[in-house]
Amino acid sequence: MPRFANKRRVRHSASQMFDLVADVERYPEFVPLCKSLKIRQRTPHENGTEVIVADMTVSFKLVQESFTSRVTLDRPNLKIMVEYLRGPFSNLENRWTFEPKADDGECDVGFFIAYEFKSRMLAMLMGTMFDAAFQRFAVAFEKRADEVYRVPRVSSVPSTS
């Protein structure tokens, strides 16, 4: 089963990054391959977690597929778990972790995904493209965080003062 995992240190707090990833309705604006995302159900729990059931449509050239998943937003533990419910996969497992660091509000963002398509043909069509997209995911979320939380880019041009 194909899988991808990475961990990146970002210049944003764990809480900020959790909020950014938890804001699934905005994914079509910046997540690679995400054409649309619709919330079916949102259930807050007393323990500080929230469960969302959502339909996501991914698109690449002429291929478009939709799937439904259950997303558990575990704010107290700064984790997000995604469970696959239905669609073109036989299996899909996705996790996010957000580890606060003492360095001026930075955190480590962990991303893991493992997936397997039901159809061998779809796996051949989408598999390589999915692998490339997952490698761009971390960068897309970090860039989005820089825009939302207004972190200036470091300039390589020396100052002339």
Closest CA to 126 of 34, 37, 64: 64
Cα 59 to its chain centre, rounded Å, is: 16
3-148 is classed CATH 3.40.50.410: no
What residues have CB less than 8 Å from 134, skipping those under 6 apart?
4, 111, 113
| Cα angle value 47/53/57 (rounded, 5°) | 145
* pLDDT-derived band at 98, boundaries 50, 70, 90: very high
* pLDDT-derived band at 151, boundaries 50, 70, 90: low
* pLDDT-derived band at 160, boundaries 50, 70, 90: very low
Question: What pLDDT is recorded for position 111?
Answer: 92
In this prediction the pTM is 0.85
Per-residue model confidence as pLDDT tens digits over 36-81: 999 999 999 999 999 999 999 988 777 788 999 999 999 999 999 9
* Residue 27, SS3 per DSSP: helix
- Residue-range domain boundaries for the chain: 3-148
> Is residue 22 pLDDT above 90, yes or no?
yes
